[in-house]
Amino acid sequence: MTQTSAPQQGSKQATDKNAIRPFQVNVPETELTDLRRRIHATKWPERETVSDASQGVQLATTQKLARYWTEYDWRKCEAKLNALPQFITEIDGLDIHFIRVRSKHEKALPIIVTHGWPGSIIEQLKIIGPLTDPTAHGGTAEDAFDVVIPSLPGHGFSGKPTATGWDPIRIARAWIVLMKRLGYKRFVAQGGDWGNAVTEQMALQRPPELIGIHTNMPATLPADVAKALQFGEPPPAGLSAEEKGAWDQLDFFYKHGLGYAQEMANRPQTLYGIADSPIGLAAWTLDHDARSQALIARVFDGKPEGLTRDDILDNVTLYWLTNTAVSSARLYWESKLAFFAPKGVPVPAAVSAFPDEIYTAPRSWTEKAYPKLIHYNRLPKGGHFAAWEQPKLFSEEVRVAFRSLR
């Protein structure tokens, strides 16, 4: 199965464009054999000329990943996905794939959770149980959610746009249609990375059904801070210690971490190499932010910290098997939003600030950015892929965040 063939097959079976069709993953063994062949055939560069990761993902890390990838069993991930209710439905001319798990508890609050790049639905699998069945994970029945996890257009098993226009604003419209199509009259939304951009745009479109949002990567950057970062100026005077810490994180990211985003925002079609080489794809996705990269390097050194080698390869292999390296990159080209700038979200908003995120949003910036802030918490651990890396903390945050809205 490939990203295009499964949705197309479903489309033939559907007589109604609004139909919700069951979906299962079934990758032909030939594709897995070809993947291993390509890994074995990798043409390696020489090692970096420094003793750290300042030149990028280190050769030793990538070769450890490659060795494990040749032994890795995709079928375990496939079985995990197929154990969940998955569906395809056409929205605005595009097939959208999603997982939908309903809670056994009455009055469960519907939530739509959106991943980012280089993530996927794999990021959210660990939070499905704690959110839908909180009594089995240290919570109460009153904290239960019905969980909907869609794949962004051009990602995973969703369709690939064949024309321009699928930016976070359009995706937000599609997500609202999806939740209404599922029959929800009242729901909340959650996201980080692109998931935050989409979630905030849902709020800005003000559907009456959307009663609140939660984000683990908030957009809070004051205008003077954003300007100073953009032009390489010193930090504005008068920053508190917490704000200066966020400045330092952002200053590093602007100077050393934005390369991948700039390339995808300007020239996504040029990235043929990551569509043709699994190792090229893996290295590109690992190099998202320095702290995530360091964590993943430690995992392949045998020190799992929330993520395992299988977690990481489940995600990269999904990108490979669906051939979505370039189609997912186009979202950066499509979006014209200022990623970290406040958007004036008009609905109740909750923020969880993780210490190893690209930046840990200070309370002061957050309170100004979200006029209806209902929850703010700084977590003791966790980074950019919070739901994936720290599912217990993340799930507890989501429960607390929306408690006042039930």
Q: What is the CB neighbour count within 10 angstroms for residue 403?
A: 14
User: Has residue 1 got a pLDDT over 80?
Assistant: no
| pLDDT mean over 232-256 | 97
Catalytic residues: 193, 332, 384
* Cβ neighbours for 9, distance < 8 A, ≥ 6 positions apart: none
Query: Would you mind telling me the total number of residues written for the chain in this entry?
Result: 406
Residue 10: band (very low, low, confident or very high) from pLDDT cuts 50, 70, 90: very low
Per-residue pLDDT tens over the stretch 338-392: 999 999 999 999 999 999 999 999 999 999 999 999 999 999 999 999 999 999 9
137 contacts 92 by C-beta, under 8 angstroms? no
pLDDT at 238: 97
Per-residue pLDDT tens over the stretch 294-347: 999 999 999 988 999 999 999 999 999 999 999 999 999 999 999 999 999 999
User: Has residue 231 got a pLDDT over 60?
Assistant: yes
> With pLDDT > 90 as the criterion, what percentage of the chain qualifies?
95
Alpha helices (H) along 301-341: 309-322, 325-334
User: Has residue 252 got a pLDDT over 90?
Assistant: yes
User: Has residue 12 got a pLDDT over 70?
Assistant: no
Tell me how far apart the alpha carbons of residues 403 and 395 are, in angstroms, rounded to a whole number. Answer: 12
Per-residue pLDDT tens over the stretch 23-45: 999 999 999 999 999 999 999 99
User: Has residue 196 got a pLDDT over 90?
Assistant: yes
DSSP string, 147-171: EEEEPPTTSTTSPPPSSS---HHHH
Per-residue pLDDT tens over the stretch 61-105: 999 999 999 999 999 999 999 999 999 999 999 999 999 999 999
Which of 313, 318, 311, 324 has its CA nearest to residue 264? 324
Residue 15: band (very low, low, confident or very high) from pLDDT cuts 50, 70, 90: low
